[in-house]
């Protein structure tokens, strides 16, 4: 029979867990079952906690609810004189499985000895949820660019690349379905749509064009016709005009134009069902009417996943969802996740569902390809949710806030099968937050991870000079960190796994500010550039922030080069088109032009200038 017990040993917010117990069981029996099922998680949080220090307490006044958020608030105020500590051989006695009758606890001072603090990523995640809950309604925020900007300046609500500094890791690295969607979109030209869908499906796309280009009196009229056709093409049944409410209350938080839920079953004794959003849409009768549609859609999604009733899904996943914007005859698809922060990224531009007779055929083919991709992607996402493992409303899985890369080859998966993400990587390049914690630049997709029980740095980027990195890493002494892997993921993103340089001190850090670099560091950089150029390779970004100080075996402080994003073959790799022109680049460096050895040497000569950034 299920026994409900409250505990803070699994996460700091408190959780209700369920154990299979009998009235004739002793406290020792119940605790043994607890350790068998939850021991790993408890020991992860409290490495120094001894099992004998954990007790089973009976609540003399059981709580008539087992909903975690409500129970946590009640337990914080619970009269401690009404808690009975059971001895190991005490029989637990009768209990009602629908009431909370027990607590599994340890003395607070014991927990304080070995308490594992939240990671930077967890703090960011919790702060994001709180920020969303406190924000005004989606329609208020999206009313105009002025209201959105004013709210945004209080703290980012979501990361969508506006402004550019408000960017984060690609959503394709967080979920299998998103990775496959992005991969297919990257290879649209290889898709033979006439062979992949039926003529009936193509006729449906044609009908959508006719419907979308009509003029409608209001949103409801457009919704009834256009969204019905989109629903058929995506093979998904939306709940229209769906109210988002707070669990246990009738008050409406907001209203979504349309959402689709997947039923997810809890693993365990109770097998409760929870509803997860896999898609959400916002509709405007015409583009430009009714405020900022992309903002309203993003905040509607955020409001839905930040509510109490979504706690279980939020605790077990990054809440991936496909967002769909329909504005007049235009449609746009996005991917959204709640990782450390909420990331909302467009998969497509606005697609015009119409056109003059001269080009409408090409538009129809393009739209058919995109719709077929999202039809398959949504089916994949639904399947992913249905297989999601979680254990209650407040049992948080640490992996929920970290990337879940989809490897393009089995060999890569085997090589990195022990890779586990631990936290955001603090490279020392951002100012600390008001709380004193390290600041995080989310544009730099850097993560601390473990590979074969060894701490490593994981980086996600669009391109990387693997050959140049390996050339320097194999030198004796090494002139770059050991490179464990550089793999292309499904979706097109490159994932780089390397050793962490001890100390994480760059040549741009305080201890080297306003002074020339040590001669040994300069010699190592010079040696590194000669080695690259002899192999026909270039680095492209030889600046102080990309030079790491390293103490050699003889005690001398040498240097390693890092940041090989632009590195590659001489004349075959190019400076980014969005090059930061505020940096004092070498003479001859131009946006989008080839990287040359002379540029590396010019930047090398500038290293003696302590003002260089």
pLDDT for 612 beyond 70: no
In this prediction, residues 536-541 reach a mean pLDDT of 97
Question: Alpha-carbon distance 264 to 392, whole Å?
Answer: 11
Q: What are phi and psi of 209, to 5 degrees?
A: -60, -45
pLDDT at 395: 60
pLDDT for 530 beyond 60: yes
In 347-453 the beta strands, taken as DSSP E runs, fall at 351-352, 420-424, 446-451
Q: Of the candidates 518, 507, 510, 506, which has an alpha carbon nearest to the alpha carbon of residue 555?
A: 518
β-bridge partners, 264: 274
pLDDT for 613 beyond 70: no
3-state secondary structure at position 359: coil
Q: What is the pLDDT of residues 357-414, one digit of tens each?
A: 777 999 999 999 999 999 999 999 999 999 987 755 556 677 789 999 999 888 788 8
Q: What is the pLDDT of residues 586-605, one digit of tens each?
A: 888 999 999 999 999 999 99
Q: What is the pLDDT of residues 118-131, one digit of tens each?
A: 788 888 999 999 99
Residue 431 makes CB contacts below 8 A (sequence gap 6+) with 439
pLDDT tier for residue 554 given thresholds of 50, 70 and 90: confident
Q: Of the candidates 146, 138, 73, 71, which has an alpha carbon nearest to the alpha carbon of residue 101?
A: 71
pLDDT tier for residue 428 given thresholds of 50, 70 and 90: low
SS3 content of the chain, % helix, strand, coil (to 5): 35, 25, 40
CATH superfamily assigned to domain 410-606: Transferase(Phosphotransferase) domain 1 (1.10.510.10)
pLDDT at 589: 92
pLDDT at 166: 87
Contact 107, 113 (CB under 8 A): no
Contact 350, 327 (CB under 8 A): yes
The DSSP element (H or E) to which 195 belongs, if any, is helix 193-196
Parse the chain into domains and list their residue ranges: 2-114, 122-386, 410-606
Say which residue, 562 or 291, is predicted with more confidence: 562
pLDDT for 112 beyond 60: no
Q: What is the pLDDT of residues 128-167, one digit of tens each?
A: 999 999 899 999 999 888 889 888 888 889 999 988 888 9
Question: Alpha-carbon distance 259 to 244, whole Å?
Answer: 10
Q: What is the pLDDT of residues 573-589, one digit of tens each?
A: 999 999 998 888 988 89
Q: Count Cβ atoms below 10 Å from residue 503 Cβ, excluding itself.
A: 13
Question: Alpha-carbon distance 53 to 166, whole Å?
Answer: 46
From its phi and psi, is residue 84 left (phi > 0), alpha (psi between -120 and 50) or beta?
beta
pLDDT tier for residue 435 given thresholds of 50, 70 and 90: very low
pLDDT for 437 beyond 80: no
Average pLDDT score over the chain:
88
Which residue pairs, CB below 8 angstroms and at least 24 apart, start in 506-510? Answer: 506/428, 506/429, 506/544, 506/545, 506/546, 506/547, 506/548, 506/549, 507/544, 507/545, 507/547, 507/548, 507/549, 507/559, 507/607, 508/543, 508/544, 508/545, 508/547, 508/613, 509/428, 509/549
Q: What is the pLDDT of residues 42-54, one digit of tens each?
A: 887 788 788 888 9
pLDDT for 248 beyond 60: no
Contact 396, 252 (CB under 8 A): no
**What is the four-CA torsion angle of 78, 79, 80, 82, rounded to 10 degrees?**
-110
- Class of 2-114 per CATH? alpha beta
Could you tell me the pTM of the whole model? 0.80
From residue 149, give the alpha-carbon distance in Å to each of 145, 541, 595.
6, 34, 38
Question: Alpha-carbon distance 83 to 56, whole Å?
Answer: 10
β-bridge partners, 348: none
In this prediction, residues 308-319 reach a mean pLDDT of 89
Give the distance, in angstroms, between the CA of residue 347 and the centroid of all CA atoms in the same chain: 16
Antiparallel, parallel or unpaired: β 420-424 and 454-461: unpaired
From residue 441, give the alpha-carbon distance in Å to each of 425, 495, 506.
10, 18, 17
* Burial zone of 398 (CB within 10 Å; 0-12 exposed, 13-18 middle, 19+ buried): middle
pLDDT at 433: 42
Say which residue, 98 or 373, is predicted with more confidence: 373
In this prediction, residues 279-304 reach a mean pLDDT of 92
Q: What percent of the chain has pLDDT over 90?
A: 58
Question: Alpha-carbon distance 406 to 404, whole Å?
Answer: 7
Least confident of 79-83, 254-258, 294-298: 254-258
pLDDT for 290 beyond 70: yes
pLDDT at 392: 58
Q: What are phi and psi of 189, to 5 degrees?
A: -65, -25
Alpha helices in 487-547 (DSSP H): 519-534
Q: Of the candidates 121, 55, 118, 116, which has an alpha carbon nearest to the alpha carbon of residue 85?
A: 55
From its phi and psi, is residue 536 left (phi > 0), alpha (psi between -120 and 50) or beta?
left
User: Is there a cis peptide before residue 159, judged by omega within 30 degrees of 0?
Assistant: no
């Amino acid at each position: 029979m299920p026994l409900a017990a409250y505990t803070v040993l699994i996460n700091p917010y408190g959780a209700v867990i369920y154990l299979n117990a009998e009235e004739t069981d002793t406290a020792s029996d119940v605790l043994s079952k607890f350790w068998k099922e939850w021991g790993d998680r408890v020991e992860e949080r409290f490495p120094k906690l001894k099992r004998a220090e954990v007790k089973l307490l009976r609540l003399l006044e059981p709580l008539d609810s087992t909903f975690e958020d409500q129970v946590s608030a009640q337990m914080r105020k619970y009269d401690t004189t009404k808690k009975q500590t059971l001895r190991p051989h005490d029989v637990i006695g009768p209990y009602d499985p629908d009431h909370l009758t027990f607590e599994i606890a340890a003395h607070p001072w014991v927990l304080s000895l070995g308490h594992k603090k939240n990671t930077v990523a967890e703090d960011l995640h919790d702060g994001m949820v709180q920020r969303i809950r406190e924000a005004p309604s989606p329609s208020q925020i999206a009313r105009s660019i002025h209201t959105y900007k004013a709210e945004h300046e209080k703290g980012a609500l979501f990361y969508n690349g506006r402004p550019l500094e408000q960017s984060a890791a690609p959503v394709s690295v967080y979920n299998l379905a998103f990775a496959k969607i992005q991969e297919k979109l990257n290879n649209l030209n290889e898709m033979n749509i006439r062979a992949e869908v039926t003529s009936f499906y193509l006729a449906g796309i044609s009908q959508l064009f006719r419907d979308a280009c009509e003029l409608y009196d209001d949103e409801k009229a457009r919704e009834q016709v256009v969204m019905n056709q989109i629903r058929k093409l995506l093979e998904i049944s939306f709940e229209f005009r769906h109210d988002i409410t707070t669990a246990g209350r009738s008050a409406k938080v907001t209203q979504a134009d349309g959402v689709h839920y997947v039923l997810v079953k809890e693993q365990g004794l109770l097998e409760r069902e929870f509803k997860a959003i896999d898609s959400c849409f916002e509709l405007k009768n015409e583009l430009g009417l009714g405020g900022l549609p992309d903002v309203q859609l993003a905040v509607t999604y955020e409001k839905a996943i930040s509510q109490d009733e979504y706690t279980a899904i939020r605790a077990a996943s990054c809440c991936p969802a496909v967002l769909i914007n329909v504005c007049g005859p235009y449609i746009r698809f996005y991917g959204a996740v709640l990782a450390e922060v909420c990331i909302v990224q467009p998969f497509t531009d606005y697609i015009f569902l119409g056109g003059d007779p001269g080009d409408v055929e090409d538009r129809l083919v393009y739209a058919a390809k995109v719709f077929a991709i999202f039809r398959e992607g949504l089916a994949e996402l639904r399947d992913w949710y249905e297989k999601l493992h979680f254990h209650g409303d407040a049992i948080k899985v640490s992996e929920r806030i970290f990337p879940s890369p989809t490897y393009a080859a089995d060999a890569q998966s085997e090589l990195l099968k022990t890779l586990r993400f631990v936290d955001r990587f603090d490279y020392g390049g951002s100012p600390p937050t008001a709380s004193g914690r390290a600041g995080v630049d989310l544009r730099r997709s850097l993560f601390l991870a473990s590979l074969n029980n060894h701490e490593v740095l994981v980086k996600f980027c669009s391109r990387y000079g693997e050959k140049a990195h390996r050339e320097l890493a194999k030198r004796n002494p090494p002139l770059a960190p050991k490179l464990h892997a550089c793999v292309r993921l499904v979706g097109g993103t490159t994932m780089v796994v390397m050793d962490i340089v001890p100390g994480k001190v760059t040549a741009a850090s305080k201890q080297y500010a306003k002074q020339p670099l040590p001669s040994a560091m300069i010699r190592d950089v010079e040696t590194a550039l000669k080695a690259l150029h002899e192999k026909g390779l270039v680095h492209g970004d030889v600046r102080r922030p990309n030079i790491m100080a390293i103490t050699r075996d003889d005690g001398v402080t040498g240097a390693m080069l890092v940041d090989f994003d632009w590195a590659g073959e001489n004349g075959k790799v190019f400076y980014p088109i969005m090059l930061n022109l505020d940096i004092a680049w070498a003479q001859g460096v131009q946006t989008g032009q080839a990287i040359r050895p002379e540029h590396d040497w010019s930047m090398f000569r500038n290293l003696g200038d302590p003002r260089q950034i």
